Chain A
Amino acid sequence: MRTPKHMLSGADIFFECLRREKVEYIFGYPGGAVLKLYEKLYDVDHLKHILVRHEQGAAHMAEGYAKATGKVGVVLVTSGPGATNTVTGIADAYMDSVPIVVFTGQVATHLIGNDAFQEADIVGITRPITKHNFLVRDVKELATIIRKAFFIASTGRPGPVLVDLPKDVINSVCEFEYPEKVELRGYKPTFLGHQNQIKKAADIIKNAKRPLLYVGGGVLMSNGERELRLFAKESNIPVTMTLQGLGAFPGNDPQSLGMLGMHGTYYANQAVNNCDVLVSLGARFDDRVTGKVDSFATKAYKIHVDIDPTCIDKNVIVDLPIVGDVKHVLAELASEMNGQMDLEDWWAQINAWREECPLNYEKNDGKLRSEYIIERISEKTKGEAVVVSDVGQHQMWVAQYYKFNNPRSHLTSGGLGTMGFSLPASIGAAFGVKDRTVISISGDGGFQMNIQELITAAYNKLPIKFIIINNSFLGMVRQWQELFHAEKYSFTDLSASNPNFLKVGEAFGLKSFSTNNPAEVDDILDEALSYNDGPVLIEFKVVKEDMVFPIIPSGATIKEMMTKRLDPKEMV
């Protein structure tokens, strides 16, 4: 059926296109250049606009929504400062391949380049941090560009797309015809993996003695968790995950070795170092994973499955690349396997490493520790919650101690490492997945980076559990200062300058708790988890100077892994 032609304004076309893209939420903030859109928005009822308190918050909310649901997150902001405030969120989405579309207002086309009021060249600014971006110069192009934006953001390796909307384009009128199809001759992501390569990979895997699956966020993006589980279970091959891969395979399954890399488990890293076939699935050999590249998995034949050809041979040269959608490739690989492999010796070795050096922390001195809190949260939510961590030590403890059962449950800023991500991203997630518990976990530093969005959560009565792991320090930086910077604790001690978090929570209208007593943790969590009328805030005051172990120093190898704080007595 052809859409009947009729005259519409740019603003009308905008909302009509969003309706057709099935957009449920816009995270936005108004301003001069987008007033016309807000005028229309007043009467739009096919989507909900969420008013944020800072445009960075809007971008992270869109990310949280997208990561939790797999759908495209949408942002609408004004020109100039509104646009530039989204930049961190866009860069974050670019690094972690999150599908979001950011609409920015722009000054009228005839004023572009004139240093007009609230003009910023946001297309220029975001060129290196978007998958693609557009400046709409004629209202006739608007519908096609919006269609392309959503298509590009959500297909292939997903990523952020920005669409800059000059004021006159939004105001002018044209004959509207919805483009049922968009033609992008320069953009054709390879979807199906090469048959012969897949066959070859399966043969090599079948003959391996010490195979290992190295699973990244790509598995989740392609919705390939079922195929992964099937393949892993059928074959009996151990699984290790990257920070972004957590949740692709159940964390409490004995076949999971947990996370690998800098703060990964001893046994996962030993397995990487000793495997004879390493199958990388939607992962990109990031430096936080590989450490010293030349010493990474040197004994292994490396198979690399990824939808993005630029990821292949970028950091580590692999033996067998397969470009394609991970879900599909996994399904094909699974069908090529013939049952359980005999990996008894390999598993015996892995289990020995497990016993030699399990994840561990001090449990007997009666002090409140982050690891304990995360363990309790994991237990109480049975690994079923959506946990949105921020950046720092607590992030690594979440990755180590929360046993994720489900995909799209561990939301974190991995590539860019953006402090201030968790609070707004959890809000986006809570809008997207109404039927699941959403828990935001931040450090006392990062919590203050987008603290203004607490009111967005409170006003919308989102039952998010905001947890602050307060160690009175910029903990991760403090850790590096202790280990690598001569114990100069330069500007990382917040004990004298942190606000009263309990009162902050109350001021924003949140049910708030604070404790430093391990004995109270369970009760507080129970109360918080059963409260669903709005957000809660819990401040856990933990010991100040704990460190994340194990740690492989930046650019080092597993030989340099530290598994516990050196005892000064042992050092003499």
Chain B
Amino acid sequence: MKHTISVLVENQFGAFNRVATMFSGKGFNIHSISIGETETPEVSRMTIVTEGEDKIMEQVVKQLNRLIDTIKVVDLTGQTRVERELALITVFYQKGTRAELISICDIFRGNVVDINNKTITLEITGPPDKIDAVVNVLEPFGIKEMARSGTVALKRGEQLKLDKNLVTQQ
């Protein structure tokens, strides 16, 4: 089963490498890995999508925790969370298919970001399974190139309860 693991790491030389080295050294799978700044400049957030049996996933989390540079490791799987991925997809078009491609792009709420006389480049954002769906639909047209950002994810903030409190206070 796929797991999405969110890791806060010290924004320090080698921290990313250490995580990557650990994954390859232990033979764990990586589907995607993304890293970027957080609200605190000394801390980066890595979102790792990995796959394996529960026992392996437990090891992944423990091994991540064991690294000195990791501050917090949370397996978001099974938690309410927001997950997004960005994809840039360049597709071949013929005279008759250009409009169709643009309408597909609209359906998925994407943007056309580049076009020339042979290809059109679409920008799609959404949960990873939506990107998969877009790719499926576009494949018959002939995908020339694709770049996916990998998943970024955050746990959803506590809802309802908070709102109610706000309401009663007012």
Q: Which of B5-49 contact A (CB under 8 A)?
A: 9-10, 13-14, 17-18, 21-22, 25
Residues of chain A with a CB closer than 8 A to B71's CB:
185-186
Residues of chain B with a CB closer than 8 A to A186's CB:
9-10, 67-71
Q: Give A312 to B21 CA distance when docked, in angstroms.
A: 21
> How many residues in A have their beta carbons less than 8 Å from beta carbons of B?
21
For the complex, is A46 an interface residue (Cβ under 8 Å from B)?
Answer: no
Nearest chain B residue, comparing its CB with the CB of A161: B68
- Closest approach, in angstroms, between the C-beta of B42 and any C-beta of chain A? 10
For the complex, is B62 an interface residue (Cβ under 8 Å from A)?
Answer: yes
Q: Which of B10, B59, B66 has the most CB atoms of chain A within a 10 A radius of its CB?
A: B66
Task: Please determine whether B58 and A313 come into contact, CB atoms closer than 8 angstroms.
Answer: yes
Q: Which of A184, A309, A312 has the most CB atoms of chain B within a 10 A radius of its CB?
A: A309
User: Given A313-B55, A313-B58, A314-B59: A131 and B13 within 8 A (CB)?
Assistant: no
Q: Give A124 to B25 CA distance when docked, in angstroms.
A: 13
For the complex, is B149 an interface residue (Cβ under 8 Å from A)?
Answer: no
Q: Which of B17, B55, B65 contacts A309 (CB 8 A)?
A: B65
For the complex, is A499 an interface residue (Cβ under 8 Å from B)?
Answer: no
Task: Please determine whether B21 and A132 come into contact, CB atoms closer than 8 angstroms.
Answer: no
- Closest approach, in angstroms, between the C-beta of A241 and any C-beta of chain B? 25
> How many residues in B have their beta carbons less than 8 Å from beta carbons of A?
21
For the complex, is A63 an interface residue (Cβ under 8 Å from B)?
Answer: no
User: Given A135-B13, A186-B10, A186-B69: A127 and B62 within 8 A (CB)?
Assistant: no
Residues of chain B with a CB closer than 8 A to A133's CB:
14
- Closest approach, in angstroms, between the C-beta of B71 and any C-beta of chain A? 5
Q: Which of B10, B25, B63, B69 contacts A310 (CB 8 A)?
A: B63
User: Given A127-B21, A309-B62: A135 and B14 within 8 A (CB)?
Assistant: yes
- Closest approach, in angstroms, between the C-beta of A33 and any C-beta of chain B? 19
Residues of chain B with a CB closer than 8 A to A96's CB:
none
Q: Give A132 to B67 CA distance when docked, in angstroms.
A: 8
For the complex, is A55 an interface residue (Cβ under 8 Å from B)?
Answer: no
Residues of chain B with a CB closer than 8 A to A81's CB:
none
Task: Please determine whether A310 and B22 come into contact, CB atoms closer than 8 angstroms.
Answer: no
- Closest approach, in angstroms, between the C-beta of A315 and any C-beta of chain B? 11
Q: Give A313 to B13 CA distance when docked, in angstroms.
A: 32
Q: Give A374 to B10 CA distance when docked, in angstroms.
A: 51
Residues of chain A with a CB closer than 8 A to B14's CB:
123, 127, 133, 135
For the complex, is A308 an interface residue (Cβ under 8 Å from B)?
Answer: yes
Q: Which of A116-134 contact B (CB under 8 A)?
A: 123-124, 127-128, 131-133
Q: Which of B25, B58, B68 contacts A187 (CB 8 A)?
A: B68
- Closest approach, in angstroms, between the C-beta of B108 and any C-beta of chain A? 39
User: Given A135-B13, A186-B10, A186-B71: A127 and B66 within 8 A (CB)?
Assistant: no
Q: Give A123 to B17 CA distance when docked, in angstroms.
A: 10
Task: Please determine whether A127 and B68 come into contact, CB atoms closer than 8 angstroms.
Answer: no
- Closest approach, in angstroms, between the C-beta of B46 and any C-beta of chain A? 13
Residues of chain A with a CB closer than 8 A to B62's CB:
309-310, 312
- Closest approach, in angstroms, between the C-beta of B111 and any C-beta of chain A? 38
Q: Which of A303-343 contact B (CB under 8 A)?
A: 308-310, 312-314, 317
Task: Please determine whether A132 and B63 come into contact, CB atoms closer than 8 angstroms.
Answer: no
User: Given A186-B70, A310-B59, A314-B59: A124 and B13 within 8 A (CB)?
Assistant: no
Nearest chain A residue, comparing its CB with the CB of B22: A128
User: Given A128-B25, A310-B62, A314-B59: A137 and B13 within 8 A (CB)?
Assistant: yes
For the complex, is A152 an interface residue (Cβ under 8 Å from B)?
Answer: yes
Residues of chain B with a CB closer than 8 A to A308's CB:
66
Task: Please determine whether B22 and A131 come into contact, CB atoms closer than 8 angstroms.
Answer: no
Residues of chain B with a CB closer than 8 A to A135's CB:
13-14
Nearest chain B residue, comparing its CB with the CB of A187: B68
Task: Please determine whether A132 and B68 come into contact, CB atoms closer than 8 angstroms.
Answer: yes
Task: Please determine whether B55 and A128 come into contact, CB atoms closer than 8 angstroms.
Answer: no
Residues of chain A with a CB closer than 8 A to B9's CB:
186
Q: Give A134 to B18 CA distance when docked, in angstroms.
A: 11
**Residues of B with Cβ closer than 8 Å to A?**
9-10, 13-14, 17-18, 21-22, 25, 55, 58-59, 62-63, 65-71
List 8 other contacts, CB 8 Å, given A184-B68, A313-B59: A127-B14, A128-B22, A135-B13, A137-B13, A186-B10, A310-B62, A310-B66, A312-B62
Q: For the complex of A and B, list the 3 residue pairs with the smallest distance between their C-beta atoms, beginning with the closest.
A: A310-B62, A132-B68, A128-B25
Chain A to chain B contacts (Cβ below 8 Å), 14 pairs? A123-B14, A124-B17, A127-B18, A128-B22, A133-B14, A184-B68, A185-B71, A186-B9, A186-B67, A186-B68, A186-B69, A310-B62, A314-B59, A317-B55
**Residues of A with Cβ closer than 8 Å to B?**
123-124, 127-128, 131-133, 135, 137, 152, 184-187, 308-310, 312-314, 317
